[in-house]
């Protein structure tokens, strides 16, 4: 378990959009026994069943029909179902009801436009449940490295105590990833990192060759799988392609691949946590490019009528962007340096000279080299772009550098405030 493994609650569809901006999940490695794992999986199945049942009810709704049942009606139906089916009655009612509450909140978020429409959950992919009404005595510390948490109908489950439990915990979420690892995440409001008060400003340029380049000249790289791990991953994928679907061999190989993928994800998230904490402590203002990562990583396949071009190349670029954690880095910066992160328009930041402000495509000699054709200034291309970002420079459609006060080459405008 990493020292600062924190997952944002935006990924939790049962939380309101306003709360997701201020609440994070402090995650710990859960260590259930084989018998306890059976009970946790049973809770996850029940939560997934109630969620999918709610999705199915809303899928049948069409304009003109009676609205789909809300949480109150679904809760009444759950009471009747528990009385009729022993297998459902054997599970935890709070876990099942909370799944319906999460779905109701997810639908409200979808209607508000802050989240996508809630969809089906699959076994082996969405394994988890949420528990509320957690009291202080439900979480105990056993020794220096371990603690225990009370799970209904499962009992006390041990977890690794890697750091202090946040104060005021009222709920937690138990999840199982594809590598078979169990985690428990406690919801809490984090304390932002205070600004150093030095007035220092830094620009962060995100890239594929270099994960993040700072205006100070520092070049940061996301840790990836080592050479031997990469080769093993390639071999496992080839073996997976030759396996028969549904076979035990295919299941084992998928688990091996999931372990490697989880290892890479852990390293990436740990890097993001350390870098974001370091930047929040060193600088008062952190400026980043305003990039729509979700749109940038969209597939280029197109449609049957209009197929896309260079689809494989675009897929490789998408994987590289996601592997360098562009979006996660900015999200964690906004959490830790709340109100001190500014987004700068990314247009022409790599073609603008940070010394004289001249904009020319020819100045970008290569991916790593920049030399201004006007003044002859030269430096690393990513560092030059990061300095432009730190200065808050953006280029307007008319080609002028836009300072914070606005573009300086616009035509004079009539001041209508003087007209009575």
Give tens-digit pLDDT for 122-167: 988 899 999 988 888 999 999 999 999 999 999 999 999 998 888 8
* For the chain, percent of residues with pLDDT exceeding 70: 86
More confident residue, 9 or 337: 337
Query: Bigger pLDDT: 375 or 404?
Result: 375
Work out the pLDDT band at 416, boundaries 50, 70, 90.
very low
- Give residue 11's pLDDT band: very low, low, confident or very high (50, 70, 90): very low
Provide mean pLDDT across the span 264-284. Answer: 93
Confidence of residue 39 (pLDDT cuts 50, 70, 90): very high
pLDDT at 298 over 60: yes
> What's the confidence (pLDDT) of residue 24?
64
Q: What is the percent of the chain with per-residue pLDDT over 90, rounded to a whole number?
A: 51
**Residues with active-site annotation:** 205, 289, 382
Please state the rounded mean pLDDT for residues 211-234: 92
Residue 3 has pLDDT above 70, yes or no: no
- Greater model confidence, 36 or 310: 36
Distance (Å, whole) CA 34 – CA 23 = 32
Predicted pLDDT at 393? 60
- Residue 402: how many other CB atoms lie within 10 Å: 18
Q: CB neighbours (10 Å) of residue 217?
A: 12
Q: What are phi and psi of 155, to 5 degrees?
A: 105, -160
* Best CA proximity match to 257, nearest among 277, 238, 273, 274: 238
Q: What pLDDT does residue 8 have?
A: 38
Residue bearing tokens 């409200």:
108
Look at residue 395 and give its three-state secondary structure: strand
Q: Which two tokens stand for residue 410?
A: 């616009």
Q: Which helix (H) or strand (E) holds 371?
A: strand 369-371
Task: Average the pLDDT over each of 16-30, 40-54, 254-268 and give the range with the smallest value.
Answer: 16-30
pLDDT score at 297: 86
Whole-number pLDDT of residue 23:
61
Q: Which long-range contacts (CB under 8 A, 24 or more apart) does 105-112 make?
A: 105/13, 105/14, 105/15, 105/16, 106/13, 106/14, 107/58, 108/16, 109/13, 109/15, 109/16, 109/17, 112/17
Q: Are strands 24-31 and 6-8 parallel, antiparallel or unpaired?
A: antiparallel
């Amino acid at each position: 378990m990493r020292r600062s493994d924190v997952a944002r609650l935006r990924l939790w569809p049962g939380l309101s959009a306003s709360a997701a901006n201020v609440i994070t999940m402090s995650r710990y490695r859960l260590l259930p026994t084989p018998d306890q794992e059976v009970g946790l999986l049973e809770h996850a199945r029940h939560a997934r069943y109630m969620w999918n049942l709610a999705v199915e009810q809303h899928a049948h709704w069409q304009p003109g029909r009676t609205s789909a049942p809300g949480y109150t009606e679904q809760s009444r139906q759950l009471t009747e179902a528990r009385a009729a089916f022993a297998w459902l009655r054997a599970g935890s009612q709070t876990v099942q009801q909370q799944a319906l509450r999460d779905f109701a909140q997810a639908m409200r978020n979808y209607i508000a436009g802050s989240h996508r429409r809630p969809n089906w959950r699959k076994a082996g992919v969405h394994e988890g449940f949420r528990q509320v009404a957690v009291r202080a005595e439900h979480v105990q510390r056993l020794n220096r490295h371990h603690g225990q948490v009370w799970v209904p109908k499962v009992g006390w489950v041990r977890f690794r105590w890697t750091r202090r439990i946040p104060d005021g915990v009222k709920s937690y979420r138990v999840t199982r990833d594809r590598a078979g690892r169990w985690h428990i995440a406690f919801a809490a409001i984090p304390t932002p990192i205070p600004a150093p008060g030095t007035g220092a400003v830094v620009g962060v340029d995100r890239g594929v060759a270099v994960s993040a380049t700072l205006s100070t000249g520092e070049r940061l790289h996301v840790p990836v799988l080592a050479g031997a791990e990469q080769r093993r991953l390639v071999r496992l994928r080839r073996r997976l392609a030759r396996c028969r679907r549904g076979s035990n061999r295919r299941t084992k190989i998928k688990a091996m691949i999931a372990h490697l993928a989880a290892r890479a994800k852990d390293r990436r998230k740990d890097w993001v946590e350390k870098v974001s904490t370091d930047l929040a402590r060193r600088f008062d203002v952190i400026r980043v490019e305003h990039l729509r990562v979700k749109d940038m990583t969209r597939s280029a396949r197109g449609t049957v009528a209009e197929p896309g071009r260079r689809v494989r190349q675009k897929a490789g670029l998408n994987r590289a962007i996601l592997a360098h954690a562009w979006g996660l880095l900015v999200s964690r910066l906004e959490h830790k340096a709340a109100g001190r992160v500014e987004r700068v328009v990314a247009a022409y930041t790599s073609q603008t000279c940070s010394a004289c402000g001249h904009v020319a495509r020819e100045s970008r000699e290569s991916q790593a080299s920049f030399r201004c054709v006007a003044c002859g200034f030269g430096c690393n291309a990513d560092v030059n772009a990061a300095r432009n970002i730190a200065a808050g420079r953006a280029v307007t459609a008319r080609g002028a550098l836009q300072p914070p006060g606005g573009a300086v080459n616009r035509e004079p405008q009539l001041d209508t405030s003087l007209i009575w």
